[in-house]
A and B are shown apart, each in its own frame.
Chain A
């Protein structure tokens, strides 16, 4: 059964870079045609898509965050990662990773991690 788990710091200072990793178990990133996505949710607010990456390195990302986002994939570790630069308080929230079947086939995001809470504060 495919499982995803986010990891990273819970606290980030303003202007610093957030680095998160999503570890995939129960399946292989490299053997899959799927994309792998990042989604966030500010406290009490709606879901917001950040971006998605394929094991080939092809990425799609949200226009509003594009200038600050870098995504990568490490097939040897069965992981994919997110870097979000120049963090501010408005970036505080829960960050989820998910298997993204939207990019190819528009079949939704069918497996999600539990999410990790990120707070931006000095």
Chain B
């Protein structure tokens, strides 16, 4: 089972960034999203498709339907520049996507 993400996404400061994660019938599973900055551990930003852990800014939101889960960052800030990974649980295994590098320019 493979989660497919675009290698890179670019966004201007203050605009909305959308990062997709695609797999067969992904909408029937829960998707999680992680932010990872260079040299740092991943941080959970979205779980169960739409939920934000405590401390994650409201500008991070998620959706999941059909074959695609989407992470949306509204009002993107320079500090949001990072790699983002989606994740799902499939047949007793944890699967990560290949990651998307978000550039804020």
Q: Residues of B within 8 Å of A, CB-based: how many?
A: 26
Task: Say which one of B19-27, B74-82, B86-94 lies at the interface with A.
Answer: B86-94
The answer to whether A46 and B47 have CB atoms under 8 Å apart is: no
- For the complex, what is the distance from the CA of A52 to the CA of B93, rounded to whole Å? 9
Q: Mark out the residues of chain A between 72 and 122 whose CB falls within 8 Å of any chain B CB in the assembled complex.
A: 96, 100-103, 105-110, 112-115
A interface, size bucket: 20 to 34
The answer to whether B98 and A108 have CB atoms under 8 Å apart is: no
Instruction: Among B42, B43, B51, B92, point to the contact of A47 (Cβ < 8 A).
Output: B42
Instruction: Among B29, B43, B48, B93, point to the contact of A107 (Cβ < 8 A).
Output: B48
Q: Any chain A CB within 8 A of the CB of B57? A: no
The answer to whether B94 and A49 have CB atoms under 8 Å apart is: yes
Shortest B49–chain A CB gap in Å is 9
Binding site secondary structure of chain A: loop
Give the chain B neighbours of A63 by CB distance below 8 A.
93
Q: Which residue numbers of B lie inside 8 Å of A, CB to CB?
A: 29-30, 32, 34, 36, 41-44, 46-48, 51, 53, 85, 87-89, 92-99
Subset of 13 A-B contacts with CB under 8 Å: A39-B96, A47-B96, A52-B94, A102-B94, A105-B48, A106-B30, A106-B47, A107-B47, A107-B51, A108-B34, A108-B46, A110-B44, A115-B41
